[in-house]
Amino acid sequence: MTQVTCSFCGRKKKDVDLMVSGIHAHICNHCIDQAFQILKEEKKTKETGDKPSFSLVKPMEMKEYLDQYVVGQDDAKKVISVAVYNHYKRLMQKPDDDDVVIEKSNIIMVGETGTGKTYLARTLANMLQVPFCIADATVLTEAGYVGEDVESILTRLLQAANYEVEKAERGIVYIDELDKISRKSDNPSITRDVSGEGVQQALLKLLEGTSVNVPPQGGRKHPDQKMISLNTQNILFICGGAFDGIKRIIESRLNTTPLGFSSKSETEKRHDIDDENVLRYINAQDLKKFGLIPELIGRLPVLTYLDPLDKKTLSMILTEPKNALTKQYSKLFAMEDIKIEFRKSALEYIVDKAVEYKLGARGLRSICEAIVNDAMFELPSNKEVKELIITREYAIEKFEKSRVNKLKVA
């Protein structure tokens, strides 16, 4: 009697749980399982409308999450939340009869140093369900020069997606310090501007959407290197920069009164302008004057700004967010079984100094470090001290002695 064996793997009937017989062949349960897995994978590939299924995070929920960590900046948070939400929806769109294709809306954020541009991006990264990376524009140069090629931005995205190309192609990239690649004057350069206008030209296709050969380990490209091809069509780009000096450009545009007498309506219009926060009036024309090429501005259609930080906001940053500075110091000292308390008068002094030094939220950290540095040095060795109270007098004494005090901005 002929023994029945699986026509695929050769296992005998007694060695398997189930053997299905056909006209001239047999298949065991192991091979059925394997065939089913192959079929599933094959189906996935063929549907490369394979739209990823996301649990959509609504813009309001996204903003609520950002509110827990970033104080103020409501306009910027709304713009980013809407852009990211639309990015999710764009990835889920299916081909319809009306042939309407949703274009991606790359964003550009303008704000003074220390107002929270990068922190906003980092906080967003913690809650996103798509690969996210932060790249720095300052290290980029034109192809063929010392520095990093523009494609190295996408290497970080690939790494964030564990080198899964499909995942990376629906990610989000935050490009920091965009203002550092502005050209040296408003007019096109007649000489090579390898880390300015040259980089902007190289970014154009990347932002718009094209297939790019990415070096898997980053750095410069060379002929023998294996490349990974990545399509940037569905990658959302968010760019940020301090654009130091753009205020003067905005002010000169707003102050358009000709020499001589001005009419009453022109004077009233001038009074409506918020001189403390002229960034809110920024437009594409100002970015062009600053040194961004028109083609790049056109590929970053959504423009938003971050408010400069006033005393009230700086005071809230010190105490209110989940990751507030005072909470960080409390945790650090709690590890040494020491309770630390910042008196209100001390916090007011720290805020006053931060405003004076014009360093935004980053300035708060420098000032706090200068004040508590001695305590952090001495107290871990002193087992008797169980409580530290930071008063205004203590803060003034420690800060006046520190080197940070010598950095006063004129």
Q: Give yes or no for a contact between 176 and 135, defined as CB atoms under 8 angstroms apart.
A: yes
- Dmax over CA atoms of the chain, in Å, equals 115
In Å, how far are 135, 187, 247 from 140, measured between CA atoms? 10, 21, 26
Distance CA 354, CA 345 (A): 14
Q: How far apart are CA 49 and CA 64, in angstroms?
A: 32
Residue 247: φ, ψ to 5°: -60, -40
Give the pLDDT of residue 351. 92
pLDDT at 407: 52
Q: In which residue ranges of the chain is pLDDT below 70?
A: 1-2, 44-55, 95-98, 142-144, 146-147, 184-195, 218-225, 256-272, 274-275, 403-410
pLDDT of the residue at 221: 60
Output the CA–CA distances (angstroms, integers) from residue 23 to 1, 14, 15, 34, 251, in the order listed. Answer: 18, 20, 21, 21, 86
Please report the pLDDT score of residue 46 as a whole number: 56
DSSP track, 141-158: --TTSSSB-TTHHHHHHH
Separation of alpha carbons 401 and 221, rounded Å: 50
In which element (H, E) is residue 237 found? strand 236-241
